[in-house]
Amino acid sequence: MLQQRIFHSLIKQVRSASAARGAPKALTPGVLFPRVQRRSKSIGLPDAREQTLVAVKPDGVQRRLVGQIIQRFEQRGFKLVGLKMLQVSEELLSEHYCQLRTKPFYPGLLRYMTSGPVVVMVWEGHNVVQMSRTMVGHTNPTEAQSGTIRGDFSIHISRNVVHASDSLEGAQREIQLWFQAKDLLDWDCCDRASTSEI
Ligand code: TYD
């Protein structure tokens, strides 16, 4: 009985305080506090569908770093839309690295990149091309900051664990080179309101 009286008096107090604030009449007995309203109109970030290509190179696969690398992109908030493991051909690599064919390190790069399987992925999200490059770190691990993938997992430029496209145009070209459109999934992430809408 006493509890009932306290409950009703509490409701009265909350109602009169709400009326004084001009609050909506959503308050009903049993609901002491109005629910926090979800914004009904959110809009997608302008480049929320931006995509980039990330590859774990043969040394990363051999050293069982695939899981840790995927985790970094997942926890950052990006969405995985394509993933495969493959033994790369020299033809594909010479297309991928077409701008480096004349470099002295190119033959060694080809040997390294074909020395074992790679895991190649397409990640999607706001500003993903630039952010992936920052997450991957400097090409030369000697100069890569701690906290970046190369800065944490590698010590030499010729074994730098991971690749990420360096520009929007590069990303589009590389994604088309490594994946067929049918292998990229268009799916809704349940946390998209937190990662790709404003
Ligand atoms: P590059 O496209 O210049 O760098 P990034 O991978 O950061 O986009 O070079 C491609 C790869 O070539 C690089 O990841 C490692 C290899 N490489 C060497 O082995 N020696 C070198 O001197 C350079 C510049 C690159």
Closest by Cα among 151, 113, 108, 119 to 133:
151
- Of the CA atoms within 13 Å of residue 92, those in its CB half-sphere come to 14
Q: What is the pLDDT of residues 156-191, one digit of tens each?
A: 999 999 999 999 999 999 999 999 999 999 999 888
pTM of the model as a whole: 0.80
Say how far apart CA 134 and CA 164 lie, in whole Å. 10
- Verify whether ligand 1 is closer than 6 Å to residue 160 (CB atom): yes
Q: Where are the domains of the chain?
A: 51-185
How many Å apart are CA 21 and CA 69, to the nearest integer? 51
Per-residue confidence (pLDDT) for residue 2, from 0 to 100: 52
Is 57 a known ligand-binding residue?
Answer: yes
How far apart are the CA of 144 and the centre of ligand 1, in A? 13
Question: Does residue 109 line the site of ligand 1, with CB under 6 A?
Answer: yes
**Is there an atom of ligand 1 within 6 Å of 27 CB?**
no
Contacts of 114 (CB under 8 A, 6+ apart): 58, 87, 88, 89, 90, 93
Which of 102, 150, 157, 174 to mutate to test ligand 1, by most ligand atoms within 8 A of the CB atom?
Answer: 157
Cα separations in angstroms, 5 against 95, 99, 121, 162, 170: 79, 80, 62, 67, 70
When pLDDT is cut at 50, 70 and 90, the band that residue 19 belongs to is very low
Chosen CATH of 51-185 out of 3.40.50.1100, 3.10.105.10, 3.50.50.60, 3.30.70.141 = 3.30.70.141
Q: Which atom of ligand 1 is nearest to the CA of 163?
A: 6
Model pLDDT for residues 104-114, shown as the tens digit of each residue: 999 999 999 99
